[in-house]
Amino acid sequence: GSRSAQQGAAGGDGSAGGAVAHTPSTEDFSLSLLDTNLPAEAETELRSFIAKRLSKGALFEGMGNVASVGLSIPEGKVGCYYCRFQQESLLEMATLESDINAPEYVVCFLGGSEKEDTFRLELDKYIQNLKINLDLEQKNLETCVSPYLRSWFEDAICPIQRVVQLFQDKLASLLHAALSYTPVEVKNADERTEKDISRFLAAASLQGLVQEGTMTSLCIAMTEEQHKSLVIDCSGPQPQLHNAGSNRFCEDWMQAFVNGAEGGNPFLFRQILENFKLKAIQDINNLKRFIRQAEMNHYALFKCYLFLKNCGSGDILLKIVKVEHAEMPEARNVVTVLEEFMRE
């Protein structure tokens, strides 16, 4: 693998090697360099670091790891994402014939920040696509693999930053759509912008943090309200939004993104996004706790109402708890009363 240094300290350098071994902890193996844009000395140090990890059997196929590594480069200590994998077609053969000795590869992405862990899932997906396209028998290292690896930073790390810079103060509506699972329709955008918006929405949603059944029901409910689809028209220099929703919670977090834009560090944007989701989950859990208390206590019901009024995202939280408590009569009654209060 290889990387071009991008955006100063937040950029990347890297190296890759092939390891001919199935269980490196028990067999001899060698690492040979395929492609890199690291200086020779740093590449040797990185290879030594990876060899140690391989000899301990610490690399599982297709699952990336993140560690801090010191190299002879100006940045000194950098974050290193590394992943061991086999070519997809060879992996299938290896499953059928356990004694096959197919080459394995290790890709390393180095960034000036040690925060690559926040992008580990994106980089795992990036490697998955590489596995499918990798065919060294066809001599496509120079034509396909190297260019793909060189664009890792732009393709996997920068989409959130690009969306923040494109939407600016309209970002609140995008955050609102992601939290509420409002369908989003993008018009007149180039392929990269459309992908960026889709990735941002996926990264900002509570998928995996809230019960799966809740997410499914929310998606169905929001899709049925077709008139509420958020339409983003990218035909001009600034995106135009139609049927946009927002609330105070999303407005406040939008401000955090806009303020962070001055530094231009993509790792910072991702951290803000994770904090945004964490606060949303905390608010949902607090509301659910108040609802449980309100089933038996009228004062707790008033606390629920005050919480919804003051948290800034009462509209979304009510939808989420309504879906979650649909099968629980007492809690459903509390939610119905809260809906009436909020409407008034």
Per-residue pLDDT of the chain (344 residues; tens, 9 = 90+): 233 332 222 233 443 333 333 444 445 678 888 889 899 999 999 999 999 888 887 778 888 998 889 988 888 888 899 999 887 666 566 555 555 567 788 999 998 665 557 788 889 999 988 887 776 555 667 778 888 889 999 999 999 999 999 999 999 999 999 998 889 999 999 999 999 999 999 999 987 776 666 667 767 766 666 557 899 999 988 999 999 999 999 999 999 999 887 767 888 898 899 999 999 999 999 999 999 999 888 888 999 999 999 999 998 898 888 887 777 888 888 888 888 888 88
Distance from C-alpha of 156 to C-alpha of 139, rounded to nearest angstrom: 25
Determine the Cα angle at 37 with ends 35 and 42, to 5°: 100
Sequence length of the chain is 344
In a domain, 20, yes or no: no
107 and 211 share a domain?
no
User: Are residues 272 and 233 located together in one domain of the fold?
Assistant: yes
Domain shared by 46 and 173, yes or no: no
Q: What is the DSSP letter of 138?
A: G
C-alpha dihedral over 261, 267, 272, 278, to 10 degrees? 170
Asked, for residue 96, whether it belongs to a domain, the answer is no
Residue whose structure tokens are 């490697």: 127
Looking at the fold, whether 182 and 291 belong to one and the same domain comes out as: yes
Counting the structural domains of the chain, the total is: 2
Looking at the fold, whether 185 and 303 belong to one and the same domain comes out as: yes
Q: Can you tell me the distance from the alpha carbon of 93 to that of 86, in angstroms, rounded to the nearest whole number?
A: 11
First to last CA, the chain: 59
Beta-strand pair 12-13/184-187:
unpaired
Q: Is 183 found in the same domain as 317? A: yes
- Strand runs (DSSP E) across the chain, as ranges? 12-13, 15-19, 31-36, 65-70, 77-85, 104-111, 184-187, 230-233, 240-242
Cα separation, 217 vs 149, whole angstroms: 39
Answer yes or no: do 317 and 205 share one domain. Answer: yes
| 133 and 182 housed in the same domain | no
pLDDT value, residue 96: 59
Residues 176 and 314 in one domain: yes
Query: Phi/psi at 294 (nearest 5 deg)?
Result: -70, -20
Based on the fold, state whether residues 174 and 312 are members of the same structural domain: yes
Q: Are 192 and 330 found together in one domain? A: yes
Strands (E) located in 157-265: 184-187, 230-233, 240-242
Question: For residue 35, is it within any domain?
Answer: no
In a domain, 28, yes or no: no
pTM for the full model?
0.80
Q: Give pLDDT, residue 103.
A: 77
Strand runs labelled E in 117-268:
184-187, 230-233, 240-242
So what's the pLDDT on residue 9?
Answer: 27
Residues 186 and 294 in one domain: yes
pLDDT value of position 198:
95
Whether 110 is in a domain gets the answer yes
Q: What is the pLDDT of residue 136?
A: 56
Asked, for residue 23, whether it belongs to a domain, the answer is: no
CA distance 258 to 21: 48
Supply the range of the domain harboring residue 283: 166-343
Domain annotation covers residue 148: no
What's the CA gap between 260 and 98, in Å, rounded? 51
Whether 301 and 232 have beta carbons less than 8 Å apart is answered as no
Question: Is 262 within a domain?
Answer: yes
